[in-house]
Amino acid sequence: MKQKVLKVNAGDNVIVALTDLKKGETVEYNGNSYTLLEDIPAKHKFYESDMKQGEAVTMYGVLVGKVQHDLSVGTRMSTENLKHAAEPYVYRESNFTWTAPDVSKFAGRTFNGYHRPDGRVGTANYWLFIPTVFCENRNLDVIREALHNELGYAVTEKYKSYAHLLVEAYKKGEDIANINLAPSIEVAKNRPFKNVDGIKFLNHQGGCGGIRQDAAVLSKLLAAYADHPNVAGVTVLSLGCQNLQVGDFKADLKERNPNFDKPLFIFEQQQSQSEEQLIADAIKKTFEGLVEINKLERKPASLDKLVLGVKCGGSDGFSGISANPSVGYCSDLLVGLGGKVLLAEFPELCGVEQELIDRTIEADAAKKFINLMKSYSDSALRVGSGFHMNPSPGNIKDGLITDAIKSAGAAKKGGTSPVVDVLDYTEPAVKPGLNLVCTPGNDVEATTGKAGSGATLILFTTGLGTPTGNPVCPVIKVSTNSNLTKRMNDIIDIDCGPVVEGDKTIEQMGEAILEYCIKAASGEVIPKAVQLNQDDFIPWKRGVSL
């Protein structure tokens, strides 16, 4: 460790511990000495000067909280001595200017993707199963087991073999202590459809019950997934009597893409001869569709065809220092190359609203962002919650004490470029550049929403580790620290620990992340979440979810 502490912004009045510091220890930073009044775990902060009750605390150059009582220099920031606070925000005329990073290293570069007739390019080639209502989930599960096992997309063989060995030992009265899990079985080599990257299933709990608005939002989301550039064909299973009617789904699909021309097979159970016949027909027709989409092949595409979603979850005190700024630099590179970047998680933009408003090119988009943020915040306050309750116990334990601290670090993923558009939930991204997408901060709801707006890759930063993935959009896990990478190597793709350790700059890490994205978009590397079939899908009902 070349450096023990760090001040993120010159205007901050707290200092971050990059390693565990002990009570009574004196640390040096920028010519100043600080004697610590208590242990400061790595990722946590201490106050650089004496603080009076009610005094503002600044980190990342913005207000992140106010102290609750008088404090002395060297005191650790905690939930007991600091409470969330954020600056108000308004629309105002801005003279924001942006200088794009040097993209000469990537000029003329391409990725090998799946070209769709409308000009979009997918990073994968999936067949998608959609239920219009939760009643069809069980049928989807039956079809998944049949197709995944037979066509080589299952990842559970080693666990089935492990369970089999345990059962056999139990029957024989043998000790199971020495029975271990075998290595993964390589099934991809046995896939008959070499150009089909997967068969995906959107199990959900909606489509009926609840309120009609829930079904309407779900319909638009399912239509967005059917129209996704990573999806080549769709099978829909419907019960028949549910709120979300097939006609509603088809209307939303036509509204989103009037020229939709992918194979679309629809089966309604209440019109079928039997459940057995429904499942058999769906499998057979889908198999015919798989034969057709297997004829598609990857071809070169310019990097401006990439749509990059950026997300953080299981965040820690290093998220806003290493992984998020590195992803942000990657975002700036892609914007400089003409691509699209999607920054969402509106509860985790609390405290940085003014900066984003000032960076928004069009007044109408800025005002739309203000309206969405205030409406979202008000809905949380009405039920006795609020954005200030966003940090999880894991976030707090690892140094994210207030929502404003978490948000200021989270916003770094979007880089520094102008905001070209603001999208409500399920609205498609159509403008090159940085787009803001209204979603909850919840990991799965946010990734679900980003894919719904068209993300073809998602960069997901984490400091604590999370297995979140998405059915149609490959999710790339970026670790904030090397300890996590070593401990959970089976789910982490990229390690930003070298940034904390001083071995790499943010810029170097950002370039390395973009290089990985190009390989992932080309199918040359398979992100861990994809390998593990971490296909998480949770539609947002537009209720209060932080």
pLDDT digits (tens, 9 = 90+) for 270-293: 999 999 999 999 999 999 999 999
Q: Look at residue 188 in the predicted model and tell me its pLDDT.
A: 63
List pLDDT tens digits, range 177-221: 888 887 765 556 679 999 999 999 999 999 998 889 999 999 999
Q: Domain 5-84 is in which class? A: mainly beta
Checking if the pLDDT of 157 tops 60, the result is: yes
Q: Look at residue 470 in the predicted model and tell me its pLDDT.
A: 98
**pTM of the entire predicted model:** 0.93
- C-alpha distance from residue 538 to each of 425, 448, 545 (Å): 13, 6, 12
Q: Look at residue 387 in the predicted model and tell me its pLDDT.
A: 77
* Of the candidate ranges 328-332, 392-396, 425-429, 489-493, the one whose mean pLDDT is the lowest: 392-396
- For the record, the structure tokens of 109 come out as 């570069």
List pLDDT tens digits, range 513-544: 999 999 999 999 999 999 999 999 999 987 77
List pLDDT tens digits, range 26-84: 999 989 999 999 999 999 999 999 999 999 999 999 999 999 999 999 999 999 999 99
List pLDDT tens digits, range 95-148: 899 999 999 999 999 999 999 999 999 999 999 999 999 999 999 999 999 999
Q: Look at residue 395 in the predicted model and tell me its pLDDT.
A: 87
Q: What span, in angstroms and rounded, lies between the C-alpha atoms of 311 and 324?
A: 9
Mean pLDDT, residues 498-518: 96
Q: Look at residue 19 in the predicted model and tell me its pLDDT.
A: 93
Checking if the pLDDT of 269 tops 90, the result is: yes
Q: Token pair 């400061």 is at which residue?
A: 40
121 - beta bridge partners? 115
15 - beta bridge partners? 46
Q: Which of 230, 285, 296, 237 is nearest to 263 (CA)?
A: 285
To 10 degrees, what angle do helices 212-226 and 246-256 make?
Answer: 50
Contact 309, 451 (CB under 8 A): yes
DSSP state of 81: T
Q: What span, in angstroms and rounded, lies between the C-alpha atoms of 229 and 455?
A: 9
Task: Tell me whether residue 191 is exposed, middle or buried, using C-beta atoms within 10 angstroms of its C-beta: 0 to 12, 13 to 18, 19 or more.
Answer: middle
The CATH topology of domain 126-153+191-295 is: Ribose 5-phosphate Isomerase B; Chain: A, (3.40.1400)
List pLDDT tens digits, range 408-418: 899 999 999 99
